[in-house]
Amino acid sequence: MITEVGGAPVYVWRASSPWLAVSSGVLGGGFGERRWVVNATVSNTYDRLDPDRHLAEIAGALGLAGEGIGLLTAVDVHEVVHREDSGVRVAVTTGIGAHPTWAAGPATVPAPVGTINSICWLPVRLTESALVNAVATVAEAKAQALFESGVPGTGTPTDSVAVLCPPSGPAESFGGPRSVVGGALARAVHGAIRARL
């Protein structure tokens, strides 16, 4: 759902019980069980140096309890694109800004506004190594979508991802693009990003 905190839109997902997650989010990043995810819109002049604290404040204002994941974007989260493929669901906000970056570009790159945040839910449990592989799959699908759209870069300096799966059940060992769940994940992320380019 989308709500507002302090006049800014926030995309919120809540779970009744924890999901196993891996994320690059500044709040709740790493591995662990998470109960919620927020993707909060901020100004394109955002300059706070404590985004983790800011996201914790947003979560508190929303009454979110327990461990969760927080992401920030200059994209209005009303522009989120949802895609589903074979039980995989994704919610992606795509902002490129004026200067997309190449992953292997120069060390000193300007920090233009632009963020691609991908929140992904898988229908089956993955091992931790497969979850890491799934994060790589998201990055590959993103790069493919940008390339096919003629964007001169592989992303932006602030792209974030969250991949969540059930915490129990038989664990799949693979999350790459040729695995069943990884292939569905790649197609869903690719389609969501292409829809905004």
Q: In angstroms, rounded to a whole number, what is the distance separating the alpha carbons of residues 78 and 34?
A: 23
Q: In angstroms, rounded to a whole number, what is the distance separating the alpha carbons of residues 20 and 35?
A: 9
Stretch 148-174: mean pLDDT, rounded? 95
User: What pLDDT, on the 0 to 100 scale, is given for residue 185?
Assistant: 98
Q: Is the model's pLDDT at 94 over the cut of 70?
A: yes
**Which structural domain range is residue 122 located in?**
2-194
Determine the residue type at 38: V
User: What pLDDT, on the 0 to 100 scale, is given for residue 111?
Assistant: 58
Stretch 9-29: mean pLDDT, rounded? 97
User: What pLDDT, on the 0 to 100 scale, is given for residue 108?
Assistant: 65
SS3 164: strand
Q: Is the model's pLDDT at 112 over the cut of 70?
A: no
Cβ neighbourhood burial of 123 (10 Å; 0-12, 13-18, 19+): middle
pLDDT tens track for 116-156: 999 999 999 999 999 999 999 999 999 999 999 999 999 99
pLDDT tens track for 29-42: 999 999 999 999 99
Handedness of CA 3, 8, 9, 12 (dihedral sign): negative
Pairing verdict, β 30-41 and 68-73: parallel
Confidence of residue 110 (pLDDT cuts 50, 70, 90): low
Total domains present in the chain: 1
Stretch 40-69: mean pLDDT, rounded? 95
Stretch 83-91: mean pLDDT, rounded? 98
CB-based contacts of 89: which residues, under 8 Å, 6+ apart?
82, 83, 120, 121, 188
User: What pLDDT, on the 0 to 100 scale, is given for residue 109?
Assistant: 55
